[in-house]
């Protein structure tokens, strides 16, 4: 029986039924081939058009369960169960030009990943992402390009493994995300956000014609669906983008597309940075002259080799130091210092050996708790020659609203200012190297993220364009004061209308009638729709109350509550 929403989808109405015949994995053999009632161990590789895969269980330890990436069209996958069993089980279904219906897919890093065009994913249970070696997981994802995509009536639940980015990730890394419909789904995520909406600022391509409507956001793992919130990187003002009637599953209140911590919380800024690339650099000087009195300051200093910082500026407390025990001069020796800014700040000089190639930065954290600034920290390091990625360690967050700084110090060949922080962190500082064309130089990077729930953060990955020789990585949890979480659903349309009318306790119609009179309209007992049209200045009238509210707000396609919020933020 067909379901009306993803909240109705689970293991009881997805996957296989009846007796299945054992089979090894294989490639398709002809156009319009029908594959059904099999218990397959391995991968199905689709090499032909209009293939149907029906009522099959696919257990795979390889990279993919079903591979639809070979230029074929018209693939139908229905009533199947896919389970990843290996450490390298990356994607359950991958490719383009396919339709997935009523499938139960689990234990892959990503259950479904699509690219290019003409993909439908519907009425499926996509859950329990598998974590391996610092990987980032999501139930459904694309890096682009992607167009003519429908994702509807699915239940997406990341599961409890660390490293989950989102239940649904729409990224524009490799091409344009366009014409994507996301409707009537149910999201839960034990990771950053429940969905990334196609307009990640660090990606080259920004989403257009993306619609989210009637999706339910759950609180199974976190108060705001994901650790950091329900949604990130959806641009409601992007070309053709719509966010309509998305809601919290437990109380039906509105989930807004511009979710973020309220104003007045902590701000994190770079005050100064410096790279000393040549021999003879026996010190590094960083200024905190522009710091606000009482703010928390954190300095990261990285020097090359086993030499040490011999003198730190007055007032700074050493929080952590990490250095390899080898004598190689490619070893980074990284120091983290902190202090609370005084009334008069200035230059701060750290003294080190002449061959140290120091690099570093000072980060200011406004709104910090001066009495309990540092909650905790974790550190890791590695010899990572030849790799362009490295992970910052997991840390336990003990207070809601905590900001966590990811901090790295490394040595690198041919290195410039291009450290890229984890996708779900905001960059605060990047010293890079000194641009030298030979030898190994120091580099530091700092990024941050707010966690609105407690528990382990999981590891997060930094990326660089050139190979790192060695690195030290930290996560530092800092305590903020006066930090309020975002209003999710807020006071609602009723409260906003009463606030605009200067009244208390009226129902929506009463408040609208008062607003009509205040705006010079007649003292008539108009209905809700007529009041909205009058306030919107819509002469011909809009029959639908939601449409009339959008006219009043000057928006298109928003839900009623969201349109009223735009009238009175």
φ/ψ of 86, rounded to 5, equals -110, 165
Q: Under DSSP, is residue 552 helix (H, G, I), strand (E, B) or coil?
A: helix
> How far apart are alpha carbons 145 and 174 in whole angstroms?
6
Cis amide prior to 145 (ω within 30 degrees): yes
51 pLDDT more than 80:
yes
Q: What's the average model confidence in pLDDT over 517-525?
A: 82
222 pLDDT more than 60:
yes
Q: What's the average model confidence in pLDDT over 342-348?
A: 88
Tokens of 195: 């969905």
Q: Which residue has the tokens 């509105």?
A: 254
Between these two residues, 45 and 566, which has the higher pLDDT value? 45
Q: What is the pLDDT of residues 231-289, one digit of tens each?
A: 988 888 888 999 988 999 988 888 888 665 433 345 676 666 776 554 446 788 888 88
Between these two residues, 420 and 243, which has the higher pLDDT value? 243
Q: What percent of the chain has pLDDT over 90?
A: 35
Tokens of 5: 């929403």
- Are 191 and 165 within 8 A, CB to CB? yes
> How far apart are alpha carbons 154 and 195 in whole angstroms?
13
Got the DSSP string for 53-119? EES-EEEE-SSEEEEE-SS---EEEES-EEEE-STT--EEEEESSEEEES-EEESSSEEEEE-EEEE
- pLDDT band with cut points at 50, 70 and 90 for residue 120: very high
- Are 450 and 261 within 8 A, CB to CB? yes
Which pTM was predicted?
A: 0.54
According to the per-residue pLDDT averaged within each range, which of 210-219, 307-316, 424-433 is highest? 210-219
- pLDDT band with cut points at 50, 70 and 90 for residue 488: very low
- The CATH 2.160.20.10 domain(s) of the chain lie at 6-248
124 pLDDT more than 90:
yes
25 pLDDT more than 50:
yes
- Determine if residue 220 is left, alpha or beta; phi over 0 gives left, psi from -120 to 50 gives alpha, anything else beta: alpha
**Residue 200: CA atoms inside 13 Å, Cβ hemisphere, count?**
25
Cβ neighbours of residue 16 under 8 Å, at least 6 residues apart? 55, 56, 57, 79, 80, 81
- pLDDT band with cut points at 50, 70 and 90 for residue 170: very high
Got the DSSP string for 464-516? EEEEEEEEEEEEEEE-BSS-----SSTTHHHHHHHHHHT-SS--HHHHHHHHH
Q: What's the average model confidence in pLDDT over 137-151?
A: 94
Q: What's the average model confidence in pLDDT over 201-220?
A: 90
Question: How far apart, in Å, are the Cα atoms of 547 and each of 235, 311, 562?
Answer: 20, 66, 12
Q: What's the average model confidence in pLDDT over 506-513?
A: 83
- Are 33 and 57 within 8 A, CB to CB? no
Which pairs with CB-CB distance under 8 Å and at least 24 residues apart come from 99-102? 99/75, 100/124, 101/76, 101/77, 102/13, 102/14, 102/15, 102/78
Write down the pLDDT at residue 412: 64
Q: Does domain 6-248 have CATH number 2.160.20.10?
A: yes
- pLDDT band with cut points at 50, 70 and 90 for residue 477: confident
Q: What is the pLDDT of residues 430-469, one digit of tens each?
A: 876 555 545 556 788 888 887 766 788 888 888 776 665 6
Tokens of 16: 């296989």
Question: How far apart, in Å, are the Cα atoms of 482 and each of 260, 262, 264?
Answer: 15, 10, 7
């Amino acid at each position: 029986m067909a379901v009306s929403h993803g909240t109705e989808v689970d293991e009881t109405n997805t996957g296989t039924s009846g007796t299945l015949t054992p089979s090894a994995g294989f490639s398709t053999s002809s156009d319009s081939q029908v594959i059904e009632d099999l218990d397959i161990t391995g991968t199905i590789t689709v090499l032909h058009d209009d293939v149907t895969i029906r009522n099959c269980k696919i257990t795979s330890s390889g990279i993919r369960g079903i591979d639809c990436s070979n230029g074929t069209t018209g693939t139908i996958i229905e009533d199947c169960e896919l389970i990843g069993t290996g450490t390298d089980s990356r994607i359950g279904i991958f490719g383009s030009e396919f339709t997935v219906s009523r499938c139960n897919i689990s234990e892959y890093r990503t259950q479904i990943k699509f690219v290019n065009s003409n993909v439908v994913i519907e009425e499926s249970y996509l859950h329990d992402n598998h974590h391996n070696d610092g990987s980032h997981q999501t139930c459904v994802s694309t890096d682009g390009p992607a167009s003519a995509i429908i994702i509807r009536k699915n239940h997406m639940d990341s599961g409890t493994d660390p490293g989950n980015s989102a239940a649904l990730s729409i990224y524009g890394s490799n091409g344009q995300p366009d014409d994507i419909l996301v409707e009537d789904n149910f999201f839960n995520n034990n990771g950053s956000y429940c969905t990334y909406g196609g307009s990640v600022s660090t990606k080259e391509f920004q989403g257009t014609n993306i619609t989210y409507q009637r999706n339910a956001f759950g609180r199974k793992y976190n108060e705001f669906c994901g650790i950091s919130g329900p949604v990130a990187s959806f641009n409601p003002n992007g070309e053709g983008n719509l966010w309509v009637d998305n809601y919290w599953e437990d109380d039906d209140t509105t989930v807004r597309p511009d979710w973020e911590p309220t104003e007045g919380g902590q701000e994190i800024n770079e005050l100064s940075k410096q790279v000393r690339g040549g021999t003879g650099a026996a010190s590094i000087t960083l200024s905190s002259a522009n710091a606000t009195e009482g703010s928390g300051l954190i300095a990261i200093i990285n020097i090359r080799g086993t030499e040490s910082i011999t003198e730190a500026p007055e007032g700074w407390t050493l929080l952590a130091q990490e250095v390899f025990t080898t004598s190689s001069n490619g070893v980074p020796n990284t120091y983290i210092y902190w202090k609370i800014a005084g009334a008069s700040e200035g230059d701060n000089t750290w003294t080190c050996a002449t061959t140290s190639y120091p690099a570093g930065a000072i980060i200011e954290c406004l709104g910090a708790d001066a009495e309990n600034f540092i909650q905790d920290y974790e550190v890791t390091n590695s010899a990572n020659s030849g790799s362009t990625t490295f992970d910052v360690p997991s840390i336990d967050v003990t207070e809601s609203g905590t900001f966590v700084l990811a901090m790295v110090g490394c040595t690198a060949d041919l290195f410039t200012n291009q450290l890229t922080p984890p996708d779900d962190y905001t960059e605060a500082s990047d010293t890079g190297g000194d641009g030298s064309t030979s030898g190994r130089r120091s580099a530091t990077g700092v990024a941050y993220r707010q966690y609105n729930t407690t528990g382990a953060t999981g590891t997060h990955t930094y990326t660089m364009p050139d190979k790192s020789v060695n690195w030290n990585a930290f996560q530092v949890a800092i305590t903020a004061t006066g930090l309020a979480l975002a209003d999710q659903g807020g006071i609602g349309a009723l409260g906003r209308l009463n606030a605009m009318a200067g009244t208390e306790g009226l129902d929506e119609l009463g408040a609208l009638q008062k607003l009509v009179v205040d705006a010079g309209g007649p003292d008539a007992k108009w209905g809700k729709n007529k009041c909205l049209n009058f306030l919107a200045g819509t002469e011909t009238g809009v029959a639908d109350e939601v449409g009339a509210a959008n006219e009043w707000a000057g928006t298109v396609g928003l839900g009623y509550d969201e349109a009223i919020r735009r009238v009175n933020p």
